[in-house]
Amino acid sequence: MSIEKFIREIPKAELHLHIEGSFQPELMFDIAKRNHIEIPYKSVEELKKAYKFGCLQDFLDIYYTGAGVLLKEEDFYDLTMAYFEACRENNIIFAEIMFDPQTHTQRGVSFDTVIRGIQEAREEAKEKYGIDSLLIMSYLRHLSEEEAFKTLEQSLPYKEWITSVGLDSSERGNPPSKFRKVFEASVKEGYRPVAHAGEEGDADYIWEAIDLLGVHRIDHGNRSLQDENLVKEIVKRDLALTVCPLSNLELRNVDVLTSHPLKKLMDKGIKVTVNSDDPAYFGGHLNENFLQIRKALDLTKEDIVELVKNSFQYSFASEEQKSGYLKRVDAFVADFQD
């Protein structure tokens, strides 16, 4: 029980979290009712039963249905604030929040509405709970690069609120190379690049994310192990992976957690972080991901500390912030009583 208590209480950062994927069914029904929108499920229970995914696309179909009830600034505030409440419960003190503006602008919801609701919640969470956060604006890879450029343009008045750009949605058939130009333009605007790669796509997609997009971190990256030269390159460039164990299990990227590559990646010298991805859909927030992968792979307390420290060290927080966070982790570890 002591290591479970240790996991629950240690201060943490989360680097791979889609705010739309934190949309709990109860809140979804509440907002749908408030906005007079019908969703194709009669109850929370029926909706939860639909969370049986054979692949990434099965999940995305429900993900976009849920996001469709978000219309107003208040909705995005409520969604984001609910995530920060979960941060408190999981002892997350720093969060990098991914948001998908195209999911909403394609439905006629303005970029301004989306980001102002999220930003209000960020400011309140900092004031009320002391939780620091930043935003990663993700481009949807199943749409065109031209559409991504429109999103980049829409984001510019809000640059002070956005730290990074990412790439998510359907991976297969939508390689990173498809978005090379918009990533170059995004970096010129001061955004730090990350991208989903190697979740369902092969190691080639990870090479593209590194070489063509110049990513500072790799989201997922599970399939790095397909290519020993790629593993060496990731280690050489000191690129962290934002790994999401329960997501990988639910989307059938691994059949069972005992076969998850997380420990093998660590043993190869890759800097791994643990994250929840879309916790409303994949069975739990950050603590649950840590608890289940710890049990499945028989991780030690030292492994947990390494994973937690990686999340702070490879975050986009300032160096001063990182130093403070790491001191908090060290103090917790020193003071922890079994």
Give the residue numbers annotated as catalytic, written as ranges.
199
CA dist 203 and 242 (Å) reads: 15
- In sequence order, the β-bridge partners of residue 240 are 217, 271
Distances from the Cα of 252 to the Cαs of 265, 306, 329, in angstroms?
19, 26, 33
Question: What dihedral do alpha carbons 320, 323, 325, 327 form, nearest 10°?
Answer: -140
CA dist 247 and 249 (Å) reads: 5
Ramachandran class of 292: left when φ > 0, alpha when ψ lies in -120 to 50, beta otherwise: alpha
Q: Which two tokens stand for residue 69?
A: 């009830």
Contact between 99 and 136 (Cβ < 8 Å): yes
